[in-house]
A and B are shown apart, each in its own frame.
Chain A
Amino acid sequence: MLHVQNLTASIGGTPILNGVDLEVGPGEVHAMMGPNGSGKSTFAHALAGRDSYEIGGTATLEGADLLTMEPEARAAAGVFIGFQYPVEIPGVNNMYFLRTALNSVRRARGETEIGARDFLAVAHEAMGLVEMNKDFLNRSVNAGFSGGEKKRNEILQMAVLEPRLAILDETDSGLDIDALQIIASGVNALRGPERSVIMITHYQRLLDYIRPDFVHVLVDGRIVESGDHALALHLEDHGYADFVNHDLDDTPELPLTGVAT
């Protein structure tokens, strides 16, 4: 479903991704972990089409060449990013935003637009997944939302837009345990044979709620290790020490501080 080969990304000549290879099959859930600054978010936004990067390599989703497409075309092709920092849009009603987004995607796919009444039914079902109440729809997009509300709003959007590939960028960060469970059960409900998920996270804890099929470790813009859930558990106990600088002979003894907390 998603084939990424030798993906590189740099900003103003500074390399961030140094050749990422990744295969994600339909219905699979992949976790991507790694120390701060290893390129996890860049990986997400490079696939989504944020224009701040110089990009190399290839990335296809069900055969569609993502890297040549505008961000909105990638969204229509089924790419969804759960933002680490959801953006506030003052004065724009959340429901209006969601419906415009859904209809944009439907139009791009040649489907008919959904009317206000039918949309409300879709939205209410999706809101049930993340335990949101109705007044949520009438508030401005993310404006004045708490951290947890913003993250739940991302999952709500995912539920409404029904993407083929959802990349959730630290959707668990800053959440208390109750909010984490709500988010996790929302994501689990959205798992299915037609949808693949890549979860970017620092914490093994999330993976207790959303069991990944694969776990990857990204270091210095490259995937240095892949495995199953056991790999995440190993990271929790040992940090990234085994992976950071593992091919640099002159620094293996350096103690690691400040990562994988």
Chain B
Amino acid sequence: MSETLREIEELTQAGYEYGFSTDLDTDIAPPGLTEDTVRLISAKKSEPDWLLDWRLKAFEAWQSMEEPDWAKLDIKPIDYQALSYWAAPKPKPILGSMDDVDPEIRDMFDKLGIPLHEQKMLSNVAIDAIVDSVSVTTTFKKTLAEAGVVFCSFSEAVQDHPELVREHLGSVVPVRDNFFAALNSAVFSDGSFCYIPAGVRCPMELSTYFRINSMNTGQFERTLIVAEDDSHVSYLEGCTAPQRDENQLHAAVVELVAKDRAEIKYSTVQNWYPGDENGVGGIYNFVTKRGRAHTDAKISWTQVETGSAITWKYPSVILQGDRSIGEFYSVALSSNRQQADTGSKMIHIGADTTSSIISKGISAGHGQNTYRGLVKVMRSAQNARNYTQCDSLLLGKECGAHTIPYIEVKNPSAQVEHEASTSTVGEDQLYYCRQRGMTEEDAMSMIVNGFCREVFDELPMEFAVEAQRLLSVSLEGSVG
């Protein structure tokens, strides 16, 4: 037994393979956050006045707000004045072709396994590559434009489609929503924008790849996806960061708007640097993700969270239209000293709305994993249904799993189900696999992947393979 525990320690202390940093010529603002900082960011991006005003309103709101402290997270104080709020790779002279991406940036993405050459990349996935909160390139733009799909950096969208941005920005996550969303609204530097016209089924998967590179900078991206009536889009998001001893702040906002009968599927594989085995360094990940589903629309969140020192994230769906559907599938792994407080909110407003939440938490080492979820059924939501299932897997003795479901029902016709389980990987399961010839590590990885199966099944193919691999790497040595 103690042998097993020792092995768990070893396995959970496996290296982080994306920890390299790239020497990019970067334009960084001095640390500090004042109204002038907000004006500087807006000016750098030549934004229209309405957007500057919006940012200033958010900044004013943020100043009067306090950091939330209700999560089960032990966080060192964050000095918001010590951070720099603007970092962008300086553009190299333009070469005038699709290869006009800085070769160093291209090499960095190659190293991450995300080739930005259209010929080399995964077929059928368009990628918006974001370094230090600024979009460096978007691929397959032409193919998408032919289908009428707009997929570009947020800054481009502000210039090229101001009316769309203005209509929807903040419509799902208002500037005063919470401390981190207000901060993001004030200082966000870039992000992705996606617009699917009515009746269009997006011809390829859309993907944003986030890479934090600079030191001591906060990362604030904003993603806005608008799917018009009867449209369909599948969106993927991946994240990595260099290995550094300082904690870095990442506070993103994602807003999804699914109009009547539209469907948005949003998948995340989050692998920000988690810090070392003593809890030094790592990303603080405070993310607000929310979607609004209109009549007969469907929004589905799938997330695999293996990185970050701190994860504070509750992808949510406002089920506004009748018969709208919200789904949340999550795998969250906390090993070493990682802490995750994550879950979902499903707000039922329309009649006959349904939501499901499938959450799989894995804790190893000294990791702490909390599922926190809210299912709210408003008076108007006749015949609302929710099914929630929270499973926790404990690997070792020092880790923790916590499940905190909130249920608020104001309409007696609602059907709300909650199931929860906590288990460990059994010695007998490991022995059985080893008797069949598998090594202890392979057996562990197989059993844990089996535990996550329902969630992985929701991921697009390439992502599912990546997620399984990531989980195996993150668990390397943590046999139990």
Contacts and interface: CB of A to CB of B under 8 A. Distances in A.
A101 B449 contact: no
A104 interface: yes
B468 to A, nearest CB: 11
Nearest to B453: A91
Contacts of B163: none
A48 interface: yes
Nearest to A80: B435
B interface majority secondary structure = helix
Nearest to A101: B436
Interface stretch (B93-101, B336-344, B438-446): B438-446
Contact of B446 (A100, A102, A105, A161): A100
B434 A91 contact: no
Interface stretch (A35-43, A68-76, A175-183): A68-76
A45 B189 CA distance: 61
Interface stretch (A24-32, A82-90, A213-221): A82-90
B434 A72 contact: yes
A49 B434 CA distance: 9
Given A100-B438, A105-B437, A71 B446 contact: no
Contact of B436 (A49, A104, A140): A104
Interface in B427-475: 428-429, 431-440, 442, 446-447, 449-454
B199 interface: no
A92 B450 contact: yes
Interface residues of B, number: 23
B426 interface: yes
Contact of A87 (B3, B428, B437): B428
B450 A161 contact: no
Contact of B450 (A74, A108, A140): A140
B432 A89 contact: yes
Interface in B159-198: none
A249 to B, nearest CB: 41
A119 interface: no
A97 interface: yes
Given A89-B429, A92-B447, A81 B435 contact: yes
Contact of B437 (A83, A141, A161): A161
Contacts of B433: 89, 97, 101
Interface residues of A, number: 33
A157 interface: yes
A205 interface: no
A76 B438 CA distance: 9
Contacts of B453: 90-92
Contacts of B447: 89, 92
A101 B446 CA distance: 11
B432 A83 contact: yes
B415 to A, nearest CB: 25
Contacts of A246: none
Contacts of A161: 436-437
A48 B435 CA distance: 7
Contacts of B438: 72, 100-101, 104
B429 A87 contact: yes
Given A89-B447, A90-B451, A100-B442, A157 B436 contact: yes
Given A51-B3, A75-B434, A91-B451, 19 more contacts: A50-B431, A71-B431, A71-B435, A72-B439, A75-B436, A76-B437, A79-B435, A87-B428, A88-B429, A89-B447, A91-B449, A92-B446, A92-B453, A96-B446, A102-B437, A104-B436, A104-B437, A105-B436, A105-B437
Interface of B: 3, 426, 428-429, 431-440, 442, 446-447, 449-454
Interface of A: 48-51, 70-72, 74-76, 79-81, 83, 86-92, 96-97, 100-102, 104-105, 108, 140-141, 157, 161
